[in-house]
Amino acid sequence: MHVLTWCRQLSDRYELTPLRWICCAGLFVAAFCLSTWLELGGTAGALVLFAGYFWLARREWRVPSPMHARVWGGIYAALLAAALTVGRLVRGTGDARGKPDVNYIDWEGKKDLLLFLPLALLLWLAFLQLRRVCAAHTLTGRAQRPRGRRCFVAAWALIFLCWTPYLLAFWPAGLVGDGAHTLEEALTPGVPAGNHWVVLYILTLRFFVWLAAVFGGGLSVGLCLYAVAQSLALAATCAAVVWQLYRLGVPRLLVAAAAAMYGLSGFFATYGMVTWKDTLFSAAVVLLALQLWSFAADGYRRGAALALAGTVLFLCFWRNNGLYVVVPTLVVLAIAFRKKAARLLAAGLAAVVLALAIQGPGYDALGIEKDALTESVSIPLQQMAAVIYEDRPLTEEQSEFLFALIPEETWKANYCPSLSDDLKSALDSRFLQDNLGEFLKVWAQLLPANLDVYIEAYLMQTTGFWQPGSWWGNYAEFFTGVQDLYSHGIHTVDWFEQWTGHGLLPVLSGLTRFVSSGTMVWIFLGGFFFCLAKPLGRRKNELLMLTPFLFCWLTLMISVPISHSYRYIFMLPLALPLFCLVFVRERTAGAAVQPGGKPSPAEDFVVK
């Protein structure tokens, strides 16, 4: 009897019962994603299983929650349920250049959408129960650790050491597509012709090629030096995240687990050595988030303004959409902290103005062309191409404009639902630049009569950034290997095979799988909505930290050129431990404890 009482008290104290039901809900969602239910009993059978689950767990759902938590939880549950139900209807071959007959949404299975409502209800209840569980498993009583550098240095060294086999097995570096074109620009003497491949990135590659030549090395050695330098920078960013966990009092075992995730995953190792500018851009986004979090939690520290200005400048110069991430983030900072953030805002705005001055009049004076407007109209272009492909009616004026932009026969020939590059390469960029207003006018005119086509085209163009579980493998999610597009004699060398006769390349290639990009987006959004569900006045710190990630994702959702490319949101897996930390926070010293030792509701937990 005493044992049963003790078990019941233990279950109440640590909220084991709701955790059990949350795990059951997770199994239901997993079965839904794998189509198990529909294969066994169809939609009706799935609805019966839902009803049975709700009945068995009926008592556990009677948990009081604040109204704003119910609202934000409901919004998140509805969005995720919509992504799960519609995502199951997406058909594709994994080839971005697949035509609409192979890459499409199978609306014939729309009866499965009947599962949206019970699935949304299930996710909403699980969200509310998760708040209850997290309230009982916060970092109670753990004080922040001192700002020692030993944890950072140790994590940095160990993570980079774990990545060295990849640097040796995939020598000299991962060279693909954009990186190969940028390398060719770097090898061209003189001022870069344009900013499409980003001037700072071109000059950086040119520096490492020059550095290799100084020591008598060739182009492959220069790429290797770049890969090593980038891996060191990425490892330092990972170590900064680990250090943040350590400082906030996370148990040492979990801190070590975070470091192990970075070090032992080939996914991060391959990003460290690939010639994509997205790696360092993502690292800078994570550093910006850490800087904002440090300011929100600890106040202004000496040197914080200079560090923020440096990060902002790098983001603006390293990728062309950096400005669209930085400016909204500064606006949120100004709204949230006002005069308290005056020095940070002044430094950030000064960096933005400097970047605009250099990239505007400065580049014009040097004869450097700005990035073409075509990079910003991928989704409208895809939507109008879908209308033309479906032979939907057009007015004479609309036809005249669209076929002046791209020849009539090219619209259908180049339309791929998951990739806009072929259309962008065919359009008259000067004509678009001079007639942008007319372009947007025609797009808006076609919208009402072709809403269904517009929606499907949008969903197919952004699939990888909202569909949970979608994974296309090498190139789309990560990259290993060399694409020597300009015949420079660059090829992959496995030094382990050269030295011992036994290569590690096949083994290491099998360690590159990670959480899919669509799933990672919903993990991030889960943390974001979980913060919104916290009490007013106790969520500002984490929301500010999450802001740069939110704007990175939103900019993609309005202008992404390809449906699957993990590199565009690499900052999300890079910050995964921070997102997990959002759910479990430290309780204030004065937080109440209910009778029997049971922790008080989630409202008593705030960020220190």
Q: Helix or strand or coil: residue 226?
A: helix
Would you place residue 21 in the very low, low, confident or very high pLDDT band (cuts 50, 70, 90)? low
Tokens of 33: 């994603």
Question: Tell me, what's the pLDDT at 121?
Answer: 83
Q: Which of 27-31, 223-227, 572-576 has the lowest mean pLDDT?
A: 27-31
Q: How many other CB atoms are found less than 10 A from the CB of residue 393?
A: 10
Tokens of 194: 């344009």
Running DSSP on this structure, what letter comes out for residue 333?
H
Amino acid identity at 302: R
Listed as own residue / partner, the contacts of 136-139 with beta carbons closer than 8 Å and 24 or more positions apart are 136/13, 136/14, 136/15, 136/598, 136/599, 137/14, 137/15, 137/584, 138/584, 138/585, 138/586, 138/587, 138/599, 138/605, 139/248, 139/249, 139/250, 139/584, 139/585, 139/586, 139/587
pTM assigned to the model: 0.89
Question: Tell me, what's the pLDDT at 338?
Answer: 86
Please say if the pLDDT value at position 595 is more than 70: no
pLDDT tens digits along 177-206: 888 899 999 999 999 988 888 999 999 999
> Pick from 567, 603, 570, 604: which is nearest to 588 by CA?
604
Question: Tell me, what's the pLDDT at 63?
Answer: 63
Please say if the pLDDT value at position 132 is more than 80: no
**Spatial contact of 289 and 549, defined as CB atoms under 8 Å apart:** yes
> Pick from 558, 452, 598: which is nearest to 104 by CA?
452
Please say if the pLDDT value at position 464 is more than 70: yes
> Pick from 595, 594, 596, 582: which is nearest to 139 by CA?
582
pLDDT tens digits along 350-409: 999 999 999 999 999 999 988 778 878 899 999 999 999 998 999 999 999 999 999 888
Would you place residue 57 in the very low, low, confident or very high pLDDT band (cuts 50, 70, 90)? low
**Distance between CA 461 and CA 457 in Å, rounded?**
6
Would you place residue 24 in the very low, low, confident or very high pLDDT band (cuts 50, 70, 90)? low
**Distance between CA 414 and CA 417 in Å, rounded?**
10
**Distance between CA 187 and CA 184 in Å, rounded?**
5
Please say if the pLDDT value at position 165 is more than 90: yes
Q: What is the mean pLDDT of residues 26-54?
A: 55
Q: Which of 46-50, 79-83, 319-323, 584-588 has the lowest mean pLDDT?
A: 584-588
Please say if the pLDDT value at position 41 is more than 90: no
Beta-carbon-side half-sphere exposure of residue 240 (alpha carbons within 13 Å): 19
Please say if the pLDDT value at position 607 is more than 60: no
Which residues fall within 8 angstroms of residue 191, CB to CB, at 6 or more apart? Answer: 366, 367, 368
Please say if the pLDDT value at position 599 is more than 60: no
Please say if the pLDDT value at position 133 is more than 80: no
Please say if the pLDDT value at position 216 is more than 60: yes
Beta-carbon-side half-sphere exposure of residue 572 (alpha carbons within 13 Å): 28
The helix (run of H) or strand (run of E) holding residue 433 is helix 429-434
The helix (run of H) or strand (run of E) holding residue 90 is strand 90-91
**Distance between CA 203 and CA 192 in Å, rounded?**
8
Q: What is the mean pLDDT of residues 63-74?
A: 83
Q: How many other CB atoms are found less than 10 A from the CB of residue 35?
A: 11
Spell out the domain ranges in the chain.
15-136, 373-461
Please say if the pLDDT value at position 146 is more than 80: no
Q: Packing angle between helix 304-318 and helix 199-214, nearest 10 degrees?
A: 90
- Residue 175 forms beta bridges with which residues? 482
Please say if the pLDDT value at position 529 is more than 90: yes
Whether the bond between 361 and the residue before it is cis, its omega within 30 degrees of 0, is no
Of 367 and 33, the structure prediction assigns the larger pLDDT to: 367
427: left (phi over 0), alpha (psi -120 to 50) or beta: beta
Whether the bond between 172 and the residue before it is cis, its omega within 30 degrees of 0, is yes
Would you place residue 278 in the very low, low, confident or very high pLDDT band (cuts 50, 70, 90)? very high
**Distance between CA 535 and CA 531 in Å, rounded?**
9
Question: Tell me, what's the pLDDT at 257?
Answer: 94
pLDDT tens digits along 305-347: 999 999 999 999 999 889 999 999 999 999 989 888 899 999 9
Both ends of the chain: CA-CA distance in Å?
41
Amino acid identity at 94: G
